[in-house]
C-alpha cells in the first residue's frame, strides 16, 4: 500500500529506487517466513515436551514395578530352596515346575514392555495397559518381527495409538458379563511395512447398521457427547499425512483396526 501511494504521488522516485524497494520487500518477506517457521518448530517442540511430561510418571511406574519384581526374586529363591528340600523328588520337581511357570507368567507383560526401546511408545502402552487392567479388561501385547521406528512424530504416535487403544478399551467394556473383555495390541514389521494392529471384543460397530465409511469423519461417534467423534478422525488424518493405510475389519468376536506405514 505504501508503494502504491508513492507510485501515485511520484512515479519517478519509485522507478529510481525500485531495486532497493524490491530488496527490502523480499528481505521483509524472508524475515516473516523465518519467524513463521521458527514458530511452527517451537509449537512442535512444546508438543514433544508435553508428551514427555505426560508419560514420564508411567515410565517411573514401570521402573518401580521392575525393581519391585527384582526385590521379590529373593523371596522366590527362598521358596525354591524350600521346595528342593522335599524328600519326594518327583513331588519336588512338580512343585518347582508349577511355581516357576507361575512366576514366569507373572513377569511376561513387564518383560515384553522392556523389549521396547522407545520410551514414548513404552509409556503409552504401559499407561493403556494399566487403564485396561483397572477396568478388568485383559490386555495382550504381541510383537511380530522387529519393533519398528514409526515414521511419525512422537506426539503423533501418542495421539494415534492413544485414540485407538482408548476406543478399544471403551468398546471392550460393552461385552456381556459372561464373556471375557479383551484388548490386543500387535506391533511389528512384515515385508518392509511397519504396522499397528488393535483388536477388541465388544463394541457397537460389528453389531449395527453403521456405515463404516463414516467412522473416520470428523464429529462421527456411536456414543453421546459433545467432545466425541474426533479420535478416529485424528488417527486417519495422521495416517493419511504420512501416506499410510488404515483398515477396519471384523475377525470372529474382534473388531480390528490395522495401520500400515512404509
Residue 207 C-alpha cell reads as: 453389531
Q: Give the three-state DSSP class for 148.
A: coil
Selected residue with higher pLDDT from 228 and 82: 82
What secondary structure letter does DSSP report for 141? E
Give the model confidence (pLDDT) of 50-95 as tens digits.
766 776 776 677 666 666 666 566 677 667 767 777 667 777 778 8
Residue 145 C-alpha cell reads as: 518381527
Mean pLDDT of 204-221: 65
What average pLDDT does the chain have? 80
Full strand arrangement of the beta sheet holding 138-144: 138-144, 182-190, 193-201, 254-261, 245-251
pLDDT of 102 over the 90 cut: no
Dihedral, CA atoms, 96, 99, 102, 103, nearest 10 degrees?
Answer: -90
Selected residue with higher pLDDT from 109 and 193: 193
Selected residue with higher pLDDT from 154 and 8: 154
Measured at the CA of 216, the angle between CA 214 and CA 218, to 5 degrees, comes to: 95
Specify the range with the lowest mean pLDDT, choosing from 20-24, 91-95, 117-121, 220-224: 220-224
Give the model confidence (pLDDT) of 243-259 as tens digits.
999 999 888 889 999 99
> Residues with Cβ < 8 Å from 170, sequence gap 6 or more?
223
Amino acid at each position: 500500500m505504501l508503494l502504491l501511494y508513492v507510485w501515485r504521488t511520484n512515479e519517478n522516485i519509485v522507478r529510481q529506487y525500485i531495486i532497493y524497494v524490491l530488496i527490502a520487500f523480499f528481505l521483509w518477506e524472508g524475515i516473516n517466513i523465518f519467524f513463521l517457521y521458527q514458530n511452527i518448530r517451537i509449537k512442535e517442540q512444546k508438543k514433544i515436551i508435553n508428551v514427555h511430561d505426560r508419560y514420564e510418571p508411567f515410565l517411573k511406574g514401570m521402573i518401580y514395578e521392575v525393581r519391585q519384581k527384582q526385590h521379590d526374586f529373593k523371596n522366590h529363591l527362598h521358596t525354591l530352596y524350600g521346595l528342593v528340600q522335599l524328600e519326594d523328588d518327583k513331588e519336588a520337581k512338580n512343585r518347582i515346575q508349577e511355581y516357576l511357570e507361575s512366576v514366569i507368567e507373572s513377569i511376561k507383560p513387564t518383560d515384553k514392555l522392556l523389549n521396547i526401546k522407545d520410551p514414548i511408545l513404552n509409556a503409552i502402552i504401559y499407561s493403556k495397559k494399566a487403564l485396561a487392567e483397572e477396568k478388568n479388561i485383559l490386555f495382550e501385547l504381541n510383537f511380530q518381527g522387529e519393533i519398528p521406528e514409526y515414521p511419525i512424530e512422537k506426539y503423533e504416535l501418542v495421539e494415534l495409538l492413544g485414540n485407538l487403544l482408548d476406543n478399544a478399551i471403551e468398546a471392550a467394556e460393552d461385552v456381556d458379563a459372561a464373556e471375557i473383555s479383551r484388548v490386543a495390541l500387535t506391533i511389528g514389521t512384515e515385508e518392509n511395512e511397519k504396522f499397528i494392529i488393535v483388536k477388541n471384543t465388544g463394541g457397537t460397530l460389528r453389531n449395527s447398521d453403521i456405515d463404516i465409511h463414516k467412522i473416520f469423519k470428523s464429529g462421527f461417534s456411536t456414543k453421546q457427547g459433545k467432545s466425541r467423534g474426533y479420535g478416529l478422525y485424528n488417527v486417519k488424518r495422521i495416517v493419511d499425512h504420512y501416506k499410510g493405510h488404515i483398515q477396519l475389519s471384523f475377525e470372529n468376536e474382534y473388531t480390528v483396526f490395522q495401520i500400515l506405514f512404509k
